[in-house]
Structure 1
Amino acid sequence: MKKILIVFVVLLSCNLSFGQLFTKKKVINLENMDKKILSYGYFLGFNSYDFKFEYERDLEDILVDNTTGFQVGLVGDLRINNHLNLRFEPGVYFTTRNLRYDESYFAGQSFNPSDLVRETKSTYIHLPLLLKFSTNRINNIRPFIVGGISTALNLASNEQNPDDNSAGQFRMTSNNYFYEIGFGIDLYLLYFKFTPSIRGVFAINDEIIRDVDPNSPWTGNITSMKTRGVFINFTFR
């Protein structure tokens, strides 16, 4: 997650410094683009998903080895007024997280080293509805903040799988709900608008499907497990 943030900051700094956008009068590109009521585009990006756990007993935290995933999707933008837009950004998000359990979860039980690790691969159909609040345009840039709610269908959740962790299957809910907040900057280029942005995403619902055994070492000590993540998107319109 830190690596993704560093990449975004470097890219944003380069864009802001290029051409001294804040200090010199520039040729105005795409002058009438923001006057459209409806506009469309697409995005590509990177993600870093994590889990936030709450526990029943005070054992060692479950560690999450998160990796950098990627996403692709479409953008639909509805202009409400000069500073406010309603956006729908359906996309497909791919990620993998590995959960690492401490041996204390298996106290009094025999276990194999493989029992201490659970891999969760997720493919989300992510459907956010967002409000975008933009500043006044400054030459060919326009900063904004964005926030809203979303739902996501996890196609790799294993929710309907009758096997649980005793058979090596970690299960999660298929339908999940989030709130999102972030910021970005519109860059008006000669032929299109390029928008780098970053968003934090936070699950509202508990996502874990518990094992049949209420004392399961994998799920018995977990009160709730909620996704949180960072998205970096590059939008083209």
Structure 2
Amino acid sequence: MSKRILIFGFFLLSSVAFFAQRETVEYLPTFDKNKIHYGFYLGLNQNDFKLNLRESSVVNANITVESTAGFNVGLIADLRLHKNLNLRLEPGLVSNSKRILFNHLNSSSTPQDSIREIGSTYLHIPLVFKFSTDRYKNIRPYLLAGVSYDYNFSSNEANQDDNSAGQFRMKTHNFMYEVGVGIDFYLYYFKFSPSIRGVFAMNNEIKYDDDPNSRWTAPVNFMGTRGVFLNFAFE
């Protein structure tokens, strides 16, 4: 699914850029002179986990992740630092779901033990730098790079029950870095800015079970979000 999002985003950017270049009238000629401006965004995401397994008492541990597409919605506050550099705060909500498959438990456990359904809603707060080229007619390509903080409303970190009681727990507070690419399209009434970005966890998000030899969490050395976001910004 993440490949589909990337391919769709690439063709969208290319198609809109082609038609924007054909416009002879320059829209919103003074838009980029504003010191501060605001907007909002809508989008899609495809998130899964990067897993690193370690040697443990669980022989031949085999864990995989299945993910589905989710959605993003949020606000934008943009501060112009230079004609080609902006600092952006983009707080929003991100929702998605995943299935964690503990394949090494299939033969000795029920499906309820070997599968964990993870539905997550995050407060996602990126602080990113936007590096833009000079404007050409009604288009302006840019790069994005920054960090973000995620508050996981569905973490279960404070839950006293763990996987032995069917509860998969994750940490509430997490930090990411993200990089991306996009294009500003200057339209008659507003600026439309689709972008594709990758988001990667910096900290280990798993909350380990109380049992140090847990069949679910003991094999995991690191579990962190990695995802693709396709955002459509309106400013």
State the TM-score, normalizing by the size of structure 1: 0.94
Residue 17 (structure 1) aligned with residue 18 (structure 2): yes
Using the TM superposition, give the Cα deviation of residue 180 of structure 1 relative to its aligned residue in structure 2, in angstroms: 0.6
Using the TM superposition, give the Cα deviation of residue 13 of structure 1 relative to its aligned residue in structure 2, in angstroms: 1.9
State the SS of the aligned residue for 1:17.
helix
State the one-letter code of the partner of 1:89: E
- Residue in structure 2 matched with residue 86 of structure 1 by the alignment: 87
- Residue in structure 2 matched with residue 95 of structure 1 by the alignment: 96
Using the TM superposition, give the Cα deviation of residue 113 of structure 1 relative to its aligned residue in structure 2, in angstroms: 2.0
Paired with 1:223 and 1:51, the residues of 2 have a C-alpha distance of 12
State the SS of the aligned residue for 2:82.
coil
The within-5 A match list for 1:69-84 is 69-84=70-85
Q: Is the 8 A contact 1:106 1:217 kept in 2?
A: no
- Residue in structure 2 matched with residue 63 of structure 1 by the alignment: 64
Using the TM superposition, give the Cα deviation of residue 87 of structure 1 relative to its aligned residue in structure 2, in angstroms: 0.3
Q: Is the 8 A contact 1:136 1:142 kept in 2?
A: yes
Q: Is the 8 A contact 1:125 1:154 kept in 2?
A: yes
Choose the corresponding residue for 1:124, options 122, 125, 143.
Answer: 122
State the one-letter code of the partner of 1:117: I
Choose the corresponding residue for 1:172, options 170, 173, 181.
Answer: 170
Choose the corresponding residue for 1:133, options 124, 131, 134.
Answer: 131
Q: Is the 8 A contact 2:17 2:185 kept in 1?
A: no
Per-residue Cα deviation, 1:164-204 (whole angstroms, up to 9, x for no partner): 01111100000000111001000000110000001100100
State the SS of the aligned residue for 2:71.
strand
Paired with 1:209 and 1:7, the residues of 2 have a C-alpha distance of 35
% identity of equivalent residues:
50
State the TM-score, normalizing by the size of structure 2: 0.94
Q: Is the 8 A contact 2:204 2:222 kept in 1?
A: yes
The within-5 A match list for 1:108-123 is 110-123=108-121
Per-residue Cα deviation, 1:126-175 (whole angstroms, up to 9, x for no partner): 11100000000000000000100111100000001111011111000000
Using the TM superposition, give the Cα deviation of residue 102 of structure 1 relative to its aligned residue in structure 2, in angstroms: 1.2
State the SS of the aligned residue for 2:227.
strand
Q: Is the 8 A contact 1:165 1:218 kept in 2?
A: yes
Paired with 1:194 and 1:90, the residues of 2 have a C-alpha distance of 18
State the SS of the aligned residue for 2:9.
helix
- 4+ aligned runs moved over 2 Å, structure 1: 57-61
Paired with 2:188 and 2:101, the residues of 1 have a C-alpha distance of 49
State the one-letter code of the partner of 1:222: V
Give the gaps of 5 or more residues in structure 1: none
State the SS of the aligned residue for 2:122.
strand
Paired with 1:141 and 1:165, the residues of 2 have a C-alpha distance of 51
The within-5 A match list for 1:31-42 is 31-42=29-40
- Residue in structure 1 matched with residue 181 of structure 2 by the alignment: 183
Using the TM superposition, give the Cα deviation of residue 25 of structure 1 relative to its aligned residue in structure 2, in angstroms: 6.8
- Residue in structure 1 matched with residue 7 of structure 2 by the alignment: 6
Choose the corresponding residue for 1:198, options 191, 196, 199.
Answer: 196
Give the gaps of 5 or more residues in structure 2: none
Q: RMSD of the TM alignment (CA)?
A: 1.5
Paired with 2:145 and 2:197, the residues of 1 have a C-alpha distance of 8
- Residue in structure 2 matched with residue 221 of structure 1 by the alignment: 219
Using the TM superposition, give the Cα deviation of residue 60 of structure 1 relative to its aligned residue in structure 2, in angstroms: 5.0
Paired with 1:172 and 1:220, the residues of 2 have a C-alpha distance of 14
Q: Is the 8 A contact 2:23 2:138 kept in 1?
A: no
State the one-letter code of the partner of 1:90: P
